[in-house]
Structure 1
Amino acid sequence: MASIFVKLVGLSINGLSYISKNYAADKALSLFSKPRKGQITKIQTEFLKTSVKETLYYEDFEIMTYKWPGNKQTILLAHGWESNSGRWKPLAKHLKKKNYTIICLDAPAHGNSGSAHFNAILYSEFINIAAQHFKPDIIIGHSVGGMAAVFFQHKYQLQHLKKLVLLGAPSEFTGVFKSYTDMLSYNQRVIKQINKIILERFGALPESFSTATYIKKIDAEGLIIHDEDDKIIPYNDALLIKNNYKNSQLITTKGLGHSLNHKSVTLHISEFIDD
């Protein structure tokens, strides 16, 4: 049923493109940037209640942050698409026991943060506001949260950032975007117009937004963890990032999928941070 609905949406937008390419592409881009999930569950709420909450702002958008104070270094955690800060519970609890200060933030249009739509550029600005406020020594990003963290550090070059952890992070925005356009079977009229809109809104074409390219200008010591069986972000993305990240190591897992929410991953991260 879901696949039939997806095909109908794609057909509808393709049909609209023959009436108005711009309108059809705008609808397609809006659909691409609007998460269907990511709201906080009851169990996650109980975990997040144990934190000190603080709302920051980027322009008119609220940024919800959660803090667990400690006496050691400050670690900022950035979740991925259709998720929220509650996904960090196992890792946060482990690091809290080690007395690190833990900061989580909800991405745009996720959890308790503002905005009706999401993109990695906007997320990178949310991360910058949180980073300027909390001054983290370490940033850990899952999936597009990792991509946004790289975009942030590439642009702002936070001097006191010592370590960066990327979990299942995508390398090329074009790869993520192609997966979406292929899934909806958009025609070339829609795809070309979306590219034009992205250029107008963000000042660059989709191929310019590359984790592997931006990572070249980041000096913080890096840890990349990616699963061979990741069906969301291909393992090859990790190789692209590693080949361009001069001060990094790559840990390959198997059977953990895209979430990487596993005790073994927590231990890898903990060892890297403690070193």
Structure 2
Amino acid sequence: MIIQKLIGFKINSVSLFSSKLAGRMALFLFTKPLKGKINEEQSDFLDSAFHEELNHQGTPIMTYRWLGNKKTVLLVHGWESNSARWRAIIPELQAKGHTVIALDAPAHGRSGSRRFNALLYAEFINEATKRFHPEIIVGHSVGGMASVYYLHKYQPPSVKKVVLLGAPSEFSDIISRYFLMMGYNKKTINAIKKRIKDKYGIEVDDFSSVKHLKTILSEGLIIHDKTDPIIPYEDAVLINSNFKNSTLITTEGFGHSLYDESVSNHIYHFIES
């Protein structure tokens, strides 16, 4: 936390003579993952799949495909991760006969882009869905938020079910936690919000899974841990209360990653029901 506060102090100092530059610097840090590239162990696992590189406006999207003869499941990982985070459930989904597709997010794994944002991630999901026509999407963390936005924007007829694992509800809450962590002053915060509006065409308060879910007809399964230190459990309650056709499963002790056999079993049952 000390390092973050020192960086925040420097950016606040920049804001005194150029709020625009401070906003650019702060948003750069917010959208630049420090982890998520594929290591040797993960590469060995992912090399068991068929690799296919898709494209969105010149940006490469790496996808991995394990073939089956039942439903097609698209797996969407979260921040500072990659498609190998699903290696615990992919073999079982294969064993059950499902085709499994995983994709690397922008600036993660083997996909392109130097920066990450949920809007671009939703476009990656759209390209993967057009290519593979999944019936189920499983999204973890911000991958869940990007999946919700994708479903809201494109209304794909093929997607019948969506699983949200530790997914955030409000972008405003995510970025507010970033502001607090960095210790940004009001001038820097306002500059970041203006930069987001100018660059992406959205107001911070308007990018909301709760708002996006109101147009989604897919059946939903929400799994969230009460001890999640990254995304508060209250987000899951809010999502569930605004998702017309959803079920909330509460866990305790699995944290944000939700790596546990019981969670996997809930996903398998939901997919096959």
Q: TM-score, normalised by structure 2?
A: 0.99
Partner residue in 1 for 2:249: 251
1:229 to 209, 227, 230: 227
Partner residue in 1 for 2:266: 268
Q: Kindly state the Cα deviation for residue 212 of structure 1 after the two structures are TM-superposed.
A: 1.1
1:90 is the counterpart of 2:94: no
Q: Distance in 2 between matches of 1:236 and 1:42?
A: 37
Q: Kindly state the Cα deviation for residue 203 of structure 1 after the two structures are TM-superposed.
A: 1.9
Amino acid at match of 2:232: P
Amino acid at match of 2:187: R
1:21 is the counterpart of 2:19: yes
Amino acid at match of 1:147: M
Q: Kindly state the Cα deviation for residue 106 of structure 1 after the two structures are TM-superposed.
A: 0.1
Q: Distance in 1 between matches of 2:138 and 2:8?
A: 35
SS at match of 1:158: coil
Partner residue in 2 for 1:125: 123
Q: Distance in 1 between matches of 2:200 and 2:107?
A: 19
Q: Kindly state the Cα deviation for residue 159 of structure 1 after the two structures are TM-superposed.
A: 0.5
Q: Distance in 2 between matches of 1:205 and 1:212?
A: 15
Q: Distance in 1 between matches of 2:2 and 2:193?
A: 26
| Cα RMSD, aligned residues only | 0.6
Partner residue in 2 for 1:204: 202
Residues 40-189 of structure 1 mapped to structure 2, 5 A cutoff: 40-189=38-187
Q: Kindly state the Cα deviation for residue 202 of structure 1 after the two structures are TM-superposed.
A: 2.0
Amino acid at match of 1:220: S
Q: Provide structure 1 residue ranges, at least 5 long, that are not aligned to the other structure.
A: none
SS at match of 1:90: coil
Q: Provide structure 2 residue ranges, at least 5 long, that are not aligned to the other structure.
A: none
1:6 to 4, 7, 28: 4
Q: Distance in 1 between matches of 2:58 and 2:261?
A: 38
The alignment of Structure 1 onto Structure 2 pairs a total of residues equal to 273
Q: TM-score, normalised by structure 1?
A: 0.98
2:28 to 14, 30, 35: 30
Q: Kindly state the Cα deviation for residue 199 of structure 1 after the two structures are TM-superposed.
A: 1.2
SS at match of 1:192: helix
| Deviations 1:82-116 (CA, angstroms, capped at 9, x unpaired) | 00000000111111110100000000000000000
Higher mean C-alpha displacement, 195-204 vs 48-57: 195-204
